[in-house]
Structure 1
Amino acid sequence: MMSLTITAEALEKLTYQKYGDSPTIRSYTKWKLFEENSPLKLPTEAKAGEVPVSGHVVFSGSETSFNLPPGVELEEGTLGLSQPEESRILGFHFYALKKAYRLKITKNLLEPLVIVSHLSENAFISHHLSIEVENTNVPIIIYDLSEKGTKSFVVELRLKNAEAEILTVGNHKALSHYLLRATLGEGSKVRAFTIVKGGKMSHHREDYSLEGVGSELILRGIPIGIGSAVDYLTNVLQYGEKSKSETRVNGYSYKNGWVVHRGVAKVFEKAKNSSSEVSSHVVIMDEGSLGVSVPMLEVDTGEIETASHSSSVAQFDEDALFYLRSRGLSREEALSLFVHGIGEALSDHLERLKAKARSNIMTLIEELL
């Protein structure tokens, strides 16, 4: 395994994005902002701030606290699913990283494991957490919260004959880099629901590798840019026979917001009799906002069950808006009701998490408008 440390000299040789990294050669993340607020220019230490939610694992600034439930074991280190040499942003992440932690889940969890990553000072702070799940079922809630500075959060997840329901809630004001990288072994299933409000610039990426026979992924994502910017990437690679993936992303840009979704689904030659779907739809809710939808499907095997992709970028339905306004609502009230409806409907996707997470989702939605 490569070293997880990197020198400033080695950073200079890295680029943020290679041509083969995404469906298009264009870079949508405003990397210049990260360059201006890198660990080479900002402090890499920060005090813990006032964290708005409690959790079993809480990263805040440079401090970490644990209150783990039974069946969750704590170690130091990583799973090695990400390396500093991959890109300049990961180089920055490992350059600033002080310590990485690793959890091993050995029992079914009846209540969600809550993980919080938080920053409220003008610094470049890296948080890194690896999670191993084997022969168990686990619900996980991840809060990715940034108020100032630049925060990088990497989550590595490995499942073997296991099931995970993952809710990720991102709420950013400044700069944020987030990477969730998961490998699914034989018989493993993941149901993931992500809602992320972009900050000054939010680069949010989720990578799923379906390696085992019969592994399954259902992914639902809602990137929201309201006077803010979010570049949301989803990458699904299918290697296992009879694997299944379904990615559906609905983005919304408002008040000069900036929302991009880039989604890749790739089925390799040995993933015979698999199915794959990726759909990407962005709604531009007012003039002056930006929406970009770039899905890509690539199939290397001729023995495929189903394979499909779809894309759209559309203006908000003015007829629906007119209907609501004719009932006495202002434009702001009508749009607020519409966005609340999004959170209300999609919070039902993770039934086991709903009781714990639903109110938190709606609180986030209320903060957006």
Structure 2
Amino acid sequence: MLQEQVLEQHTAFLASLGHRFLDHKRKEALSKFKEQGFPKKKNEEYKYTSLAEIVNKEYNFFPTQEHHISKSQLQSLHLGEENIDFIIFINGEVYPELSQISIENAEFLSINYALNDEKRRGVFEKYFDSITHEDNPFVSLNLAYCKYGFFLHVPKDTVIEKPIHLFYLSHNQQENTFYNVRNLLVAESGAKVEIIESHHNLDESFAFTNSITEIFVHSNAKADWHKLQNDSDTAYMVDSTYVEQQRDSVGTVNTFSFGGKLVRNNLDFIHKGENINSFMNGITILNKAQLVDHHTAVHHNFPNCESYQNYKGVFAGKSHGVFNGKVFVDKIAQKTNAYQQNNNVLLSEGATVDTKPQLEIFADDVKCSHGCTVGQLDEEALFYLRARGISKNEAEALLLYAFAHDAMQNIDIEALKLKISKLLAEKLDVDIEF
């Protein structure tokens, strides 16, 4: 149903836009998507994840802009401190009056503004859609329909002191709603910036978000992007993030998945220089019939670079976790150090995990390791805690908290680290004072 809607609604969508300069690309992208279609389970990349529940629904492509979100509702979503800037998107539109931005010496635009402002479009056009994968149908779909999202260009040697939290909210939609979110971050040489991204469906109807993020980290720059996925059971998301790094840069994408009915995270790091450090960490805690699928890839194309992947999962009820991590090492990428680990704990017989770490190495002087585990809690550790008067439930929760907490070590934002810790404690039903 959704595929037919995608093809039928495009003319009306183009007519609703205030600009025309992407029309040709949008039409080409729609044609490409028509050839590709939504991936099915016979596709190797989706063999463990069925999208049938998403694509067999009908959606509204033009969300109503009216909303009734109060400031107290917005406040409940914040991280609980003042030292973070934030941008509020409601039903796709940015709301400056509800946002708080203190950026200086940086060009801040929404994607919609960039698409409609000819004078300030130069940087946007240079980077937009330049590192995405053409074989990803969700990229084609997003390009055909993208209108809303975040754009930040951080000039050379500029340090953005405050993290920026992007809130994407869906509210007051009477029908299932389809959002194509686009994010673009450019950190020039020597720049530093931290972004937090969260999505919240506040309706009983379903929201399907197809999000594409492109991150460019130039030489000696540092960019961290934290994805906080703690949405309702009426939320679907397919998120594709691409990170291109130049020499001596540091790039991080942390993904914390605690909610949403079905979430697919595609993450690609592309190395374009030497002495690069890339970090990918993830924590997934699911219950009921939720599904989260992490697909990661690191492309080591130059010597003397390092990448670290550490994903932890805790699964209860009939939940399903998927992890497929790939590391590619080119023949010239000598002295590569690539680490990849995926550890999972199953708390019920109905929970399942499919994990597949992969290495493709064409260089001979490298240190590459990968591993995965799927099992239950350590019985010896459980016995040790219970022997000290701790109940079984509390002991299990403490062990699970310690197990998952390991993937939080490189979060520099204390408020975010506290928020994740509280969510961990809440999801695992453990009483810990922070």
Structure 2 residue corresponding to 1:118, chosen from 162, 166, 169: 169
**Matching of residue 3 in structure 1 with residue 25 in structure 2:** yes
Total equivalences in the alignment: 362
Q: 1:19 to 1:168 in 2, by over 3 A?
A: same
More strand by share: 1
Could you tell me which residue of structure 1 aligns to residue 218 of structure 2?
A: 160
Q: Within 2, Cα distance between the matches of 1:200 and 1:19?
A: 18
CA shift for structure 1 position 356: 2.6
Letter matched to residue 3 of structure 1:
K
Q: 1:9 to 1:97 in 2, by over 3 A?
A: same
Q: 1:347 to 1:26 in 2, by over 3 A?
A: closer
Q: Within 2, Cα distance between the matches of 1:243 and 1:20?
A: 35
Structure 2 residue corresponding to 1:73, chosen from 99, 104, 107: 107
Letter matched to residue 63 of structure 1:
E
Letter matched to residue 269 of structure 2:
Y
Of 93-102 and 144-153, more deviation after overlay is shown by 93-102
Letter matched to residue 25 of structure 2:
S
Could you tell me which residue of structure 2 aligns to residue 244 of structure 1?
A: 306
**Matching of residue 12 in structure 1 with residue 61 in structure 2:** no
Could you tell me which residue of structure 2 aligns to residue 91 of structure 1?
A: 140
Deviations 1:192-237 (A, max 9, x none): 4321124211101211111111111122221222221100111111
* 1:180-219 → structure 2 map (5 Å cutoff): 180-219=241-280
Could you tell me which residue of structure 2 aligns to residue 149 of structure 1?
A: 207
Letter matched to residue 32 of structure 1:
A
Deviations 1:107-128 (A, max 9, x none): 1122222222333443111221
Q: 1:250 to 1:202 in 2, by over 3 A?
A: same
Q: 1:334 to 1:224 in 2, by over 3 A?
A: same
Q: 1:244 to 1:19 in 2, by over 3 A?
A: farther
Letter matched to residue 186 of structure 1:
R
Whether contact under 8 Å (1:197, 1:230) holds in the other structure is: no
Deviations 1:155-206 (A, max 9, x none): 2100111112333221122211112211001111123432112421110121
Q: Within 2, Cα distance between the matches of 1:276 and 1:20?
A: 30
Q: Within 2, Cα distance between the matches of 1:60 and 1:202?
A: 20
TM-score, normalised on structure 1?
0.86
Letter matched to residue 185 of structure 2:
I
More helix by share: 2
Could you tell me which residue of structure 2 aligns to residue 104 of structure 1?
A: 153
CA shift for structure 1 position 322: 4.8
Q: 1:89 to 1:277 in 2, by over 3 A?
A: same
Letter matched to residue 117 of structure 1:
Y
5+ residue gaps, structure 1, are: none
Could you tell me which residue of structure 1 aligns to residue 339 of structure 2?
A: 277
Whether contact under 8 Å (1:105, 1:133) holds in the other structure is: yes
Deviations 1:215-274 (A, max 9, x none): 111222212222211001111111122111121212221122211111001011232322
Q: Within 1, Cα distance between the matches of 2:228 and 2:390?
A: 29
Could you tell me which residue of structure 2 aligns to residue 27 of structure 1?
A: 47
Give the 3-state SS of the residue equivalent to 2:292 in structure 1.
strand
5+ residue gaps, structure 2, are: 1-21, 80-84, 116-123, 429-434
Q: 1:165 to 1:203 in 2, by over 3 A?
A: same
CA shift for structure 1 position 284: 1.2
Structure 2 residue corresponding to 1:297, chosen from 340, 348, 359: 359
Letter matched to residue 202 of structure 1:
V
**Matching of residue 42 in structure 1 with residue 54 in structure 2:** no
Give the 3-state SS of the residue equivalent to 1:168 in structure 2.
strand
TM-score, normalised on structure 2?
0.74
Could you tell me which residue of structure 1 aligns to residue 297 of structure 2?
A: 235
Higher alpha-carbon Rg: 2
Whether contact under 8 Å (1:141, 1:167) holds in the other structure is: yes
Give the 3-state SS of the residue equivalent to 1:186 in structure 2.
coil
Whether contact under 8 Å (2:159, 2:193) holds in the other structure is: no
Q: Within 1, Cα distance between the matches of 2:230 and 2:346?
A: 20
CA shift for structure 1 position 20: 12
Q: Within 2, Cα distance between the matches of 1:219 and 1:250?
A: 11
Q: 1:339 to 1:138 in 2, by over 3 A?
A: farther
Deviations 1:124-154 (A, max 9, x none): 1122110100123424232322334111222
Whether contact under 8 Å (1:16, 1:87) holds in the other structure is: no
Q: 1:168 to 1:62 in 2, by over 3 A?
A: closer
Of 277-286 and 291-300, more deviation after overlay is shown by 277-286
